[in-house]
Structure formats: structure tokens, C-alpha cells
């Protein structure tokens, strides 16, 4: 867990400004591995539901489409028609173009922990 979680957990009520357990023994600083795994699974599932995909293995960055007119933006950037991104068999937009837009153009990006990133990557 992070220091921010530790501070939110411990700086309440009578203990404002310090942890009632002490920084060394605080359960928020050293949660049980089962709890961490449970929280990471839940967070990855929520992010997957919201449409996030992994876009940078090195920096553990995820992203999703940030606007409704993303196809028009992509077509304008690439100087072509939006029709160029549809499959010839009529089954919709080719997924590679959606992924390209997310990797290159989206502003909706997040950096996540290793555990969340690896779980999200498996959900693909």
C-alpha cells in the first residue's frame, strides 16, 4: 500500500498527525498479502469494465478512449476517411485502430501498480 493510504488510515480522531500503531507497525503500511491480492483483483476488474487497456509495459500505464468522436479525430490525424478504419466484412471498426488511438492520442491514462497491471493484461 502507499504512504497516502497509511496517512488516511491513521490520521483520524485523537491521533491526528500521528499513527496510533506507529509507522513501523501500522497495518495500512504492511497489509496481508491476501488483502493486497484481493484489492488488486478488484481494481483490475473495475478498470477493465471501464475500458482501460495496457499501453506501456515499462511504466505500467493504462489508457482508454477519452472521447466519443475518437474515430473522427484519428481520421483527421491520419488524413483519411473514417470509413478506412472499418473491416471489409462489415463487422465494425478494426480493434487495432482503437488500440492505436488509445496508445497515441488519448489523454485518459493512468499509472498503476505491478499487480493491477499484470491482472489487467491477463483480462485482455
Dump pLDDT digits (tens) for 11-59. Answer: 666 666 667 777 677 777 677 788 889 889 999 999 999 999 999 999 9
d(CA 120, CA 11): 32
* 78 vs 9 pLDDT, higher one: 78
Taking alpha carbons only, the member of 115, 123, 109 closest to residue 45 is 123
pLDDT of residue 81: 94
* 5 vs 46 pLDDT, higher one: 46
pLDDT of residue 60: 96
Determine whether 63 is exposed, middle or buried from the number of CB atoms within 10 Å of its CB (0-12, 13-18, 19+). Answer: buried
Using a pLDDT cut of 90, give the percent of the chain over it. 65
- How would you classify residue 65: left for phi > 0, otherwise alpha for psi between -120 and 50, otherwise beta? beta
pLDDT at 63 over 90: yes
Amino acid at each position: 500500500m502507499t504512504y497516502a493510504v497509511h496517512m488516511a488510515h491513521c490520521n483520524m480522531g485523537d491521533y491526528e498527525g500521528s499513527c496510533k500503531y506507529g509507522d513501523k507497525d501500522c497495518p495500512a503500511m504492511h497489509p496481508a498479502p491476501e488483502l493486497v491480492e484481493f484489492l488488486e483483483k478488484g481494481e483490475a476488474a473495475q478498470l477493465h469494465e471501464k475500458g482501460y487497456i495496457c499501453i506501456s509495459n515499462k511504466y505500467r500505464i493504462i489508457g482508454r478512449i477519452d472521447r466519443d468522436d475518437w474515430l473522427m479525430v484519428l481520421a483527421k490525424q491520419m488524413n483519411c476517411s473514417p470509413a478506412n478504419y472499418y473491416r471489409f466484412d462489415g463487422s465494425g471498426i478494426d480493434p487495432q485502430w482503437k488500440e492505436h488511438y488509445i496508445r497515441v492520442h488519448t489523454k485518459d491514462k493512468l499509472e498503476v501498480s505491478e499487480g493491477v497491471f499484470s491482472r489487467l493484461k491477463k483480462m485482455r
